[in-house]
Structure 1
Amino acid sequence: MITDVSKYKTIYEGGIGEFIMKKSRFIATVHPVEAEEAAIEFIDEMNKKYWDASHNCYAYVIGTINPIMRCSDDGEPSQTAGKPMLDVLLSHELTNLLVVVTRYFGGTLLGTGGLVKAYQSAVIEGLNNSRIITKELGIRLQMLTDYSHIGKIQYYIGQETLPVLSSEYTDSVKLELMIPFNQYNSFVKKITDLTSGSVNLQKKEQAYFTMIDDEVYLF
């Protein structure tokens, strides 16, 4: 479960994974969702896409505080599909995602233990083929300083590996940064000390952010 809502794991891009057991084929489709209505709509899409499948089981988690958690066995024996699938999502501490596992029956009964293993293995394969990210709550900060301090500031920013949104060099230097929420006060104090209070800091909006391929994405 998520214990710190200032930072949580989710998926940026969903993926598809497949697991085969005794000729039964299990296809996991992982999809990002941020509202239950979107989850229900996607489940309906999967039911139409895989209309000829034996089962379309699902599990989803939405939200960080008191998250919505739902799952369905879709006709499989109770507790052998949806709940084990949900357990995988929770064990990975993920939210705002849905997974549908489609089963094509291979002619051999797998038993309850076999079903649990197959559905969980399919979910893991789907997650392995998805892009998992961490979204962190941050504060966008605009900084205006002269050139005499920029070296020390950039060195400190580099040490802390803080995302730089933009930089502008004219008669002075203007930087825009994303500062993790829990580091904001200490960052402001450090920059104030480094520049003897001569830097101009403007606090902007709060947003969640992540780094993807060295690019900053705000949400």
Structure 2
Amino acid sequence: MEIKDTYKTIDVASEEVLFKDRNSKFFGYAFPVSNEADIKKHLEALKKSHHTARHWCYAWQLGKSEPFRFRANDDGEPSNSAGMPIYGQIQSFDVTNILIVVVRYFGGTKLGVGGLINAYRTGAQMALEVADIKEKTINIDYLLIFDYKNMNKVMRVIKERNLNITAQQLEMDCRITISVRQKDAQQIFDLFTNMYEIQIKSLEEIV
């Protein structure tokens, strides 16, 4: 079975979208996030800009592959009427490293649980529809360590395999960092491991 080494996400925040139902207004937003500090920052900013709103409901997902980390928050709405419908859209659009927030201004008429589920789901869906969703590859970074005399040997493999160099330090003791797609990673690791006088290390092990 081939390893799935791609994921979908956004690089920039979506434009604000608005869904209305019986005078209640639901503003939808999608933000790119890489950690919980990013999530907190966006939520705090929205609470300032929408300080008279009634609810700031949201869902987020972090990680490039399973198991993902996620959370859904109803923020005072009836249980599972807001956060989970928003999270359902994250799953439907198959995106990650993302925060979706739907801000509600109450219009005086109760919508009932069914109405709320529809409104929060629609707000999240509209935010994702206007977002620029990109597919990215999951890469593994390796550090190559070798003497300068072996430079040609290493560079030939890098060129033949079309590998991406992300950093290099070319002195008597050379160090090159390469980024390799996850599905090719083991093959490239084995290739350099079997080369005489070349060391290869995963950067995850070094950190």
The question of a shared fold, defined as TM-score above 0.5 by the shorter chain, is answered with yes
Instruction: Kindly report which structure 2 residues correspond to 1:18-97, keeping only aligned pairs within 5 A, or say none.
Output: 18-22=17-21, 24-31=24-31, 32=33, 34-35=35-36, 39-40=39-40, 42-62=42-62, 65=67, 67-72=69-74, 74-75=76-77, 77-97=78-98
Aligned-residue CA RMSD in angstroms?
4.1
Paired position in structure 2 for 1:200: 198
More strand by share: 1
TM-score for the superposition, normalised by structure 2: 0.65
For 2:5 and 2:40, the matched residues in 1 are separated by 27
Kindly provide the CA deviation profile for residues 42-92 of structure 1, in whole angstroms up to 9, marking residues without a partner as x.
Answer: 4344233212224322223356647352311533x5433222012112334
Structure 1 residue 101: deviation in Å? 0.6
Identity of aligned residues (%): 23
Structure 1 residue 121: deviation in Å? 2.6
Structure 1 residue 167: deviation in Å? 5.7
Kindly provide the CA deviation profile for residues 4-37 of structure 1, in whole angstroms up to 9, marking residues without a partner as x.
Answer: 99875554433343133456432122332523x6
Letter in 2 for 1:203: K
Letter in 1 for 2:52: D
Paired position in structure 2 for 1:154: 159
For 1:10 and 1:146, the matched residues in 2 are separated by 37
Aligned 8 A contact 1:8 1:135 in 2:
yes
For 2:61 and 2:193, the matched residues in 1 are separated by 42
Q: What residue ranges of structure 1 are gaps of 5+ in the alignment?
A: 208-219
- Quickly say closer, same or farther: Cα 1:72–1:205, change in 2 above 3 A: same
Aligned to 1:164, what secondary structure does the other structure show? Answer: strand
- Quickly say closer, same or farther: Cα 1:12–1:199, change in 2 above 3 A: farther
TM-score for the superposition, normalised by structure 1: 0.62
Q: What residue ranges of structure 2 are gaps of 5+ in the alignment?
A: none
